[in-house]
Amino acid sequence: MIYSFNNDYSEGAHPRILQAMMETNLEQNNGYSMDTHTAHAKERIRQEIQCEDADIHILVGGTQTNTLGIMSALRPYQAVICAETGHINVHETGAIEAKGHKVLGQLTEDGKLTPSHIQQALDWHTDEHMVQPKMVYISNATEVGTQYTKAELEAISTFCRQHNLYLFLDGARMGAALTSRANDLTLADIARLTDLFYIGGTKNGALFGEALIIMHPDLKPDFRFLIKQHGAMLAKGWLLGIQFEELFQNNLFYEMAEHANEMADQLRTGIADCGYGFHWNSTTNQLFPVFPNDVIDKLEKDFLFSRQAVIDEHHTCIRLVTSWATRQDGTDAFLQALRSIAGK
């Protein structure tokens, strides 16, 4: 049997989440997220971010949340700036363009934007013959496993406010970022420094669900119209509420992400011990080791993962992802296999 490090959404949900769904199954709830579980989950999140007047909408998936968050803020001729590796630029089948907006992908070293990347995009777009950059999109953790420090996020936030740009933070892997050893940010910091952001459930132990938090007052009105129009208003919306109630009760959200990071740390150390390097220096639950192709061929007999990039004729970067559900015996087996192949 093959063990999968293919992604962090290969299993269902944490048992406590399923349990909560069982227990509430025959309640009669109001539809469309107008239920008491959702209200309670939002209350918990507002405490967590230390902001009483944030608007919160819990949505089913990440592409949906990115699309709605971005389109809510932009007029038809406005564009969003992101890293060239940004999820919206590559892996959402042009969802943002489908809503009419150009995505201005900027080349970065490590998947992280800086004010100078943003300035460059502004410098190129100066009049009505070009799109008007109006939003900055960043991910934390990023698509290549790196993450922002508080100083970096503050610099971006300050720049955006000076230049009248909205700042959107994709937190599909927020849990992994916040519980990494490299982290010095809190949800309250992120709420303070961005205009809207979300907390990912799908990749951190929920069946599905992303909690979009709107801080900027201009972006709050009528958001539910956008959700409904986009087909993103779940009829049995309390299913989202119940999951986020569980995630933010008794620390479950952080515990699961810590586990994912712990498993990633073990893999990272073990791989380095075998003498292999990494294409990006991830600090979270995605790893991008570079292996000789014959090593990869052998690993693929027992493990599932994706090939990320061809490095040269003989080497390839693969992607390994750990999660709340990654088993200790899975990581042990991987490292044992690698050591055996590497002759260490």
Nearest residue (CB) to a second copy, 230 versus 315:
230
- State the Cα–Cα distance between residues 292 and 312, nearest whole angstrom: 9
Q: How far is CA 35 from CA 41, 63, 246, in A?
A: 10, 24, 15
Minimum CB–partner distance for residue 119 and a second copy (Å): 14
Q: What is the DSSP string of 155-191?
A: HHHHHHHHTT-EEEEE-TTHHHHHTSTT----HHHHH
Smallest gap from Cβ 117 to a second copy, in A, equals 17
Burial of 23 (0-12, 13-18, 19+ CB in 10 A): exposed
Give the nearest distance from C-beta 146 to a second copy in angstroms: 21
| Cβ contact 187:48 at 8 Å | yes
Shortest distance in whole angstroms from residue 267 CB to a second copy: 17
- Give the residue with the Cβ less far from a second copy, 228 or 314: 228
State which residue, 32 or 278, has the beta carbon closest to a second copy: 32
Beta pairing class for 196-200 and 166-170: parallel
Minimum CB distance to a second copy smaller for 12 or for 188: 12
Q: Decide if 165 contacts 135 (C-beta within 8 A).
A: yes
Nearer to a second copy, 225 or 344 (CB): 225
DSSP H/E element including 281: none
Q: Name the minimum Å distance from CB 245 to a second copy.
A: 15
Question: 217: exposed, middle or buried (C-beta count within 10 Å: 0-12, 13-18, 19+)?
Answer: exposed
Smallest distance from a second copy to CB 18, Å: 6
Q: Following CA atoms 320, 325, 327, 332 in sequence, which dihedral angle do they give, to the nearest 10 degrees? A: 20
Nearer to a second copy, 66 or 142 (CB): 66
* Minimum CB distance to a second copy, residue 182 (Å): 26
Cβ nearer to a second copy, comparing 94 with 272? 94
Task: Give min distance, CB of 143 to a second copy, in A.
Answer: 12
Q: How far is the CB of 219 from a second copy (least distance, A)?
A: 11
Q: Which is nearer to a second copy, 182 or 333 (CB)?
A: 333
Query: 251: left (phi > 0), else alpha (psi -120 to 50), else beta?
Result: left
What is the three-class DSSP state of 45? helix
Distances, alpha carbon 187 to alpha carbons 46, 52, 103, 239, in Å: 10, 13, 26, 23
Nearer to a second copy, 20 or 191 (CB): 20
- The residue written with tokens 């227990």 in the block is 23
